[in-house]
Structure 1
Amino acid sequence: MLNPKSHTMKTNMKTLLLIPFFALLLFSSCQDEVTEITPTEESEALTAESELTGLMFSTSIMDGSADNIIDNASCTSVKLPITVKVNGVEIIIDSREDFKVIEAIFNQFEDDDDKLEIIFPITIILSDHEEIVLNNREELEALIEDCRGENEEDDDIECIDFQYPISFSVFNTDFQIIDVITIENDRELYKFLKRVKNAEVIASLNFPITLEYADGTTVEVNNNEELARTIKEAKDVCDEDDDNDYGDDDFTKERLDEYLMSCPWLVYEFKRDNQDNTEQYIEYVLNFKEDNVVVMHARGGDLLTGTWSTRVTDRGALIKLEFDNLVDFTLEWFVYDLEPGKIKLYQSGGNRIILKKNCDIVTDITKERIENFLQECLWRIARLNIEGVDNEKEYIGTPFKFYEDNVVKLRVNGELLQGTYEIGVRNAGYILQITLDGRPELKLEWLITFLENDLIKLANANNQMILMRHCPDDDEDIDYIADVLTNGEWEVALYEDQNANETENYNGYVVGFNEDGMLFAEGNGNDFRGSWLAYRNNGLYLGLNFRTQDEPFSELKHRWKIKEITPNRIELKDYNSNGEIERILVLEKR
């Protein structure tokens, strides 16, 4: 009998991408990421004159504003690398980061004439993503004449972008699917939508899709109506930065002040007098308040109060910070660069601060607030470093549960180990004291150094621990994964390590997942027990935890990224730091 929940879950999945068998025949190349092909009504097809087609088309237009400091045109972009002379200094520009070098040279002196000379020939990318070669300045000037001026309204939508890949179902005149087109970038989307606008194809988007706002946040949409509304609402909510300097450092004082006060700011990098003090100040938090008071939250919970002010000059915006007891920050800083969610400050003499915006961080910490956070959900141990040795792998699949009566439970192999916890106050700040028999590495007094909605960082002496919130009851995808895993027994259909196929090591074994978090593998005279946990962390993961002596299953002890899941098959992958696949594990229903 089919499990009704499993049968209907395909239409509810928001992150897992399930692929029907016929779609495999339609893809022109192998894809790591696959897309669910949803049945589409004729009314959902894109048409040449529809509002949605126009909105998507405008979003796919090439935005040429990033390099205006070079070409003075927002409708064109210079293809890198190129060579330029900036105030007589010849430099090679081979990345967007080098645009900052140009501006730094321009800003070096207030009373000089800033000149940029391009060494021709160069290749220019037009708004329709076509490329042409220009041989001299006169040809570039002719192109610039066809562009609109600084900060004038144009056709491209820059405040929201698609996260790729996305796919379209292509239909014949009887509205039957004849192809599936996968789009990897704006250029491909522009070309495909041009065919739609020319009535060359009938197509519809395969949902869900994700869009990214200019500030780095994302939104998921599930149908044409949501998509059109989202693009329209976002199209004018950011500064498109269509002026001819580099970066969005041309805020008015009012906009800069509002931006600073919008959320807390984390110190990400800090240099003073050419000394790198990042380790000392990383994750310090700056709160800019309306009355020109700035509050610095140190990692240990200490609060330092100072003042802040801003001004805008011909050379750009400046932020002045003054603290009685924090000399390193007390300086008037130039706003070197403003990016979505990030501010870079500098001053001559080797002074530099990078701040990252974090609206989730909790600055008004109280004992009651910490207790409420802990009791809201489960917490998994994402990192546990004791005296320089990483121990977090021992806690894969074993989350904490904190209760109101100061009881804490740790789920291990499907069983709950019970202990106690207490939130205390010390001179250094708030502490979390955990007592669990048989777990000496946890039985420590942990100083809470960082607190946000989904993450708690703790430290003492030479030890660090990071807890990540896990709320499975609020996540349909996690619920679906658990339902699939616990509904039957599984076999290892493939285990590939560094391109070596080791599947035969698991022949004769049956793998099972119990609802209480116990993981078992039985066969060949062995009966292994472990823990499992499905969770979300910038994607969906499955943690598998067998003991070291439980060979060959100890090889599978890892936090695996879930790449595909159906009621009868689950594909897991392990990636290295370069994003390359190191291992593949496939489980299939018996």
Structure 2
Amino acid sequence: MKTSNLETKVLKGSILFLMITALLMTTLLFTSCSENSEVTLEDDADLISAIENSANRTLINVEDLPLTAKSELEEEFSNDAIYEVTSAENLGFEVKLITTEGSWISEFNRAYFDTAGRSLEDRRRPRHGRRRSCFHIVFPFSVTMPDDSVITLESREDKSLIREWYAANPDANERPELVFPIEVEYQDGTILEINSYQELVDAREGCRTTRCFDFVYPFSVTMPDDSIINLTSEDDRYLIREWYDANPGVHERPELVFPIDIIYENGTTETINNQDELQTAKDNC
């Protein structure tokens, strides 16, 4: 009888041991899978937002990016210098750049990639990659760096000096400031003197007039802080500039409040109900 009780206790102990072991193995397996699996989100915009807001971000070297991401940077961001690359675990990568050539020189740019290196795009944000430029800044010109040092660029090759400065100052998060006045040359050879940053912004805006339609006033835009700006005429664009002057750390662009009306060069108008319809209108120009 005693032997039977002993065997029963041993059997129960063995079963309990196996159950605990199985439970531990299941927990470890689940944890391992959770830590190493890529987070999947419905669209690029959500994934970009998750990368930006991730609490688990680490600085990495550009060499550590997937090959497809490095190829994209070389092809689509050839006018930009990389100054910071971060990895958001299980989400993807954010690459911060500074434009070193063309009419957008000294401006910030950003690129986002998923964990496999696929380029991510968000139509609600400024276009990544090469930005439309109908003129270039005439050499030589100078820029003031965030530490107040001045770099003079005598030719296109000197843009490497800006890359080298950011490589030597990895904690810098401010863009260079152009030293005015500068001269810009348009594609037809016309040269214009630019005396301030606002004049440069206006000249860049002029590069966009090649689209085949304009927005019909009045219309409204939602700013990144969810405030609404109503534009009753083209002169009201200064309201947007003032908002960004008051919020210097914000890079997201305004969102149109739909529906809006657009007017084509031939005088016909069309109502646009969403961003996809607006993109279709642009593609058909």
TM-score, normalised by the number of residues in structure 2: 0.31
Relative contact order, higher structure (CA 8 A, sep 6+): 2
Structure having the higher strand fraction is 1
TM-score by length of 1: 0.18
| Structure (1/2) with the larger helix percentage | 2
